[in-house]
Structure 1
């Protein structure tokens, strides 16, 4: 036993020394200098995971998937390893012999080979299942996949769009509904090898809705489970806030909202933020805007309502403030909101309630202004956090996309880059200066030459917080079909804590 101790100590010392060397290597900058011990260095992420819900079961639908990673990030390619990115069916399929074939025969969809150039896959919606996948190496930082579905008629008619999301354990959804004219499904997708257990909670205007069927939902490994929200409420509720919590595992979660008269779209999670709440990118021709707000905190909050328009901020007539009670969903119709120009909602808590968390979203309606209008279409915008460094929206077309840039408080400057198209072209970029309290629409920045879907990347240059949204539109038989998406930071980099060599950890006390 006395002979083994020096050997074990030596093995431990070598292992610890290797660990120290590895940490030191991680925190050494590209130029060979060690950063200050008080400043964390930001490094590109090595791996990104995304989850996409099943687009639609409509036989009339067509789905377009666009994958893209912005150019300019070194990613994990610096270690000499290979980079790859692609999506596989999230649901395992069994052949006649009962063998799980997922990952063996399945060809990845929208596989990327290099940053800076988008890849597009189009198919009938019924042929596209729920998907999950990863990007590694140089393709990981900022990897995004846009899922856009066109359903020209029938149930679920509309233009439905979302960016595939990173799996997580908690989500808040505002503006969902269990009303009779709505069919809202929450799609729970598990990308991992172990099952996940999920609880669903609904909050109506009177508080928590008592339900037992939303508790302990099992989502098997590599599976997706859609849940019709109206089955969780004893009676229809027009406006509901949904809380999704995974008590085991992690999932992707999105809500597909189908309205019998007004079309369909995806509802994505709202950012639960304290302080000023921003919902960016309401189009100027919106005919109706319905705001839903909720606070999961213990205190009520009173929010002043303002619009950041094209040239200045203003308060909507008759709706200067909104009172939100703790644990209760509050909704209000905002009439004649945008005054014909694009705008963003800015909700500011009154003094003394700035630390109360708020989730919010709007349902935006276009069309239907008079009897001659052929129909209406809806889309949803959640409250969103500001872009810290960079955000990307893939899947834009030359004539169907508009980017909304909002500086709610201070002036800011951003750089917007249009990537090459999936079928060629060269990038184009523009620096946009944003005045405080305004929203700027960019609808004319496209790649030079080439063709096919492209991506728009927004990078903060200077100034205050910037919130970003993107609209895609595709009129169909007189119906102004469109989809709205709030963009979040792509989290393409991560802060690496400073480290230094400390050989004292190798000293063993007797």
Structure 2
């Protein structure tokens, strides 16, 4: 066989130049000068991940899981499963098609945290909810939490280390490698000192859940309201704070939306007996906020509580008492000086009922519903499910869809107009519903719109309830436009 002579550098350059010349003749026309500025195409996500915390330490806890991917049935293949977040993972729930929810249940204190993924047509907008009812005991109450995507940074204003409170940060690692996290607490005087190392380098083993008592991080420091900051040094986790308050009730405190100059806390129940706002400014500047309640007929400033000053690195609280006065509403925080917005995080501590018949819930600041958002595990019982819609800045029109139930029912939908600065309530359930269903909100025009769902399941005179906010499900993500450029062959 005749051996080929090696190519010289000059020959390589000549060959590349020739190839580029041929390509120039066949390549599409060059893009316009501003093509790079064109908006990226938006495409459905191909894979989604969710994490749910371990439900309860009570032996009498009854937990319901509900999951759904909104949209019309058919159109391709996909899988969506939630499994125990343990090394010996077992499927707990599996979704079969879009638009129809799937449900599962668990009893007692042994139910694990869950982790799962969805792909294909079941990935865009995949949503799951965990609801636990504990009838008696220190942890009695209705505890609801939306399963969330794992992350690396979480803020929990409204946590506590006070006597009578039991607050645990639940950390779930869905991955096959260990995660390492830090927990820092901030009170009304700034950072709370902890015993050396107690809040640092906390290891979360692969595919496992760990609950960390906030009180154990600061022995002797009993603070009614703190902001807990959870960050990862390695890996990613799902994080939520489980709260039990002696004589009042229990629920999950979800993470606040990312620090921002303006915040909306939607879905305060009409019969709230006590509402307390907890805010924190994580930066180096103080924040001055205006406080308004958006109700059914417009926005008002609560008398005597029109503004809140939040010192940098410190928590601030505002006791709004029974601010709703029989009309459901949402709290809107905005910078007093619109030219100098200072990022803050915030949450509400809400109590319904009186005396021995009290129950608590939390509402964290949340982002708008965007193009679409969904909350699962709604119930068709009378007055059990109420959806709150708040328009900020401009009037908005949305479409609300109730999915079929996990056992039976026909989907139903309606369009709702929400005036700027108001909160509108919507009660919608599928016809003939059996089991749990999901509510999906789609923005048709105007807005932005913020939403929350209140689930009320009374027990022996106690108005057991939980509130979950709805945020953009990010079903579609921007994909940069790629342009063929063969001139790189000659560079």
- Structure-1-length-normalised TM-score: 0.87
3-state SS, counterpart of residue 432 of structure 2:
coil
Task: Give the alignment of 1:290-329 within 5 angstroms.
Answer: 290-329=276-315
| Alignment of 1:382 onto 2:368 | no
Map 1:34-433 to 2 at 5 A.
38-72=38-72, 77=76, 82-92=77-87, 102-103=88-89, 106=90, 108-211=91-194, 212=196, 213-234=198-219, 235-351=221-337, 354-368=340-354, 374-399=356-381, 400-433=384-417
Would you say the 8 A contact 1:51–1:165 is kept in 2? yes
How big is the shift at 1:87?
A: 1.1
Task: Classify 1:2/1:297 alpha carbon distance in 2 versus 1 (closer, same or farther; 3 Å).
Answer: farther
CA distance in 1, matches of 2:73, 2:118: 13
Q: Could you say what secondary structure the match of 1:449 adopts?
A: strand
Residues 44 and 74 of structure 1 are in contact (CA less than 8 Å); yes or no, is this contact kept in structure 2?
no
* Separation in 2, partners of 1:296, 1:402: 33
> Is the 1:374–1:478 contact (alpha carbons within 8 Å) kept by the matching residues of 2?
no
State the distance in 1 between where 2:408 and 2:7 align. 65
Instruction: Flag the 1:199–1:415 CA change in 2: closer, same or farther, 3 A.
Output: same
Which string of whole-angstrom CA distances, capped at 9 and with x for unpartnered residues, describes residues 218-247 of structure 1?
111111111000011131110000000001
| Separation in 2, partners of 1:180, 1:163 | 28
Q: Tell me the SS of whatever aligns to 1:231.
A: helix
Q: Which residue of 2 aligns with 1:21?
A: none
- Preserved CA contact (<8 Å) 2:45 2:123: yes
Report deviation, 1:423: 1.2
Q: Which has the larger radius of gyration?
A: 2
> How many Å separate the matches in 2 of 1:159 and 1:431?
30
Q: Quickly say closer, same or farther: Cα 1:48–1:5, change in 2 above 3 A.
A: farther
Measured after TM superposition, the shift of residue 66 of structure 1 is: 0.3
Residue 296 of structure 1 aligns to a residue in which SS? coil
Q: Could you report, residue by residue, the CA deviation over 1:177-219 in whole angstroms, capped at 9, with x for unpaired residues?
A: 0001000000111111111110110000100011230011111
Cα distance in structure 1, aligned partners of 2:416 and 2:7 = 67
- Aligned pairs, how many? 463
**SS of residue matched to 1:121:** strand
Cα distance in 2 for partners of 1:308, 1:483 equals 20
The whole-number CA distance in structure 2 between the counterparts of 1:159 and 1:47 is 31
Q: 2:439 aligns with which of 436, 452, 456?
A: 456
Query: What residue in structure 1 maps to residue 31 of structure 2?
Result: none
C-alpha distance in 2, partners of 1:110/1:52? 12
On the 8 A contact 1:125/1:149 being kept in 2, the answer is: no
Instruction: Check conservation: 1:182, 1:260, Cα contact below 8 A.
Output: yes
Q: Give the whole-Å Cα distance in 1 for the aligned partners of 2:339 and 2:81.
A: 44
Secondary structure (helix, strand or coil) at the match of 1:139 reads coil
Q: What RMSD, in angstroms, separates the aligned Cα atoms of the two structures?
A: 2.2
- Aligned partners of 1:37 and 1:498 also within 8 Å: no
Instruction: Give the Cα separation in 1 of the matches to 2:5 and 2:109.
Output: 68
Note the alpha carbon deviations across 1:433-474, whole angstroms, 9 max, x for none.
00111001112x111224111000000000021001111011
Q: How many Å apart are 1:508 and its aligned residue?
A: 5.4
Question: Retained in 1: the 8 A contact 2:152–2:235?
Answer: yes
- Structure 1 position 408, deviation (Å): 2.5
Unmatched 5+ stretches in structure 2: 21-26, 28-34
Matched, 1:437 2:421: yes
Which residue in the other structure is 1:29 paired with? none
Q: How far has the Cα of 1:382 moved from its partner? A: 0.5
Deviations 1:64-108 (A, max 9, x none): 000100014999x4xxxx41011111122xxxxxxxxx25xx2x1
Q: Distance in 1 between matches of 2:8 and 2:45?
A: 40
2: CA distance, partners of 1:177 / 1:72? 43
Q: TM-score, normalised by structure 2?
A: 0.90
Contact 1:51 1:166 in 2 (8 A): yes
Deviating more after overlay: 229-238 vs 123-132:
123-132
* 3-state SS of 1:230 partner: helix
In 2, Cα distance between equivalents of 1:268 and 1:2:
69
Structure with greater proportional strand content: 2
Change (3 A) 1:40 1:292: same
Give the Cα–Cα distance (whole angstroms) in 2 for the partners of residues 384 and 353 of structure 1. Answer: 22
Alpha-carbon deviation of 1:274? 2.4
